[in-house]
Amino acid sequence: MLFMAGPEQRTLPREMFSGIRENISPTITAAAVILTTVSVILLATLEALRRRNERLKGSGR
């Protein structure tokens, strides 16, 4: 799993933070940018769908 695991397993965030402590790698930076971008796009899409749904509900009366 990427974000949830047992104490003996290393998740993606733990691996990223340990990599930052040891050295700053372009791979870690790229992964952080990709995760942040995907999160922002997902939130923007959900907000657009929510607004569209409310607009359709309002005009359907």
* pLDDT value at residue 27: 80
* The two structure tokens encoding residue 19: 């990599």
Whether the pTM exceeds 0.75: the reply is no
Lookup: tokens for 58 = 């309002």
CB 11 within 8 A of CB 1: yes
Q: Taking residues 4-11, report their average pLDDT.
A: 68
- Residue 59's pLDDT band, with cuts at 50, 70 and 90, is confident
Q: What is the pLDDT of residues 16-39, one digit of tens each?
A: 777 666 666 788 788 889 999 999
Percent pLDDT > 90 in the chain is: 38
Q: Which distant-in-sequence residues (6+ apart) come within 8 Å of 18 by Cβ?
A: 10
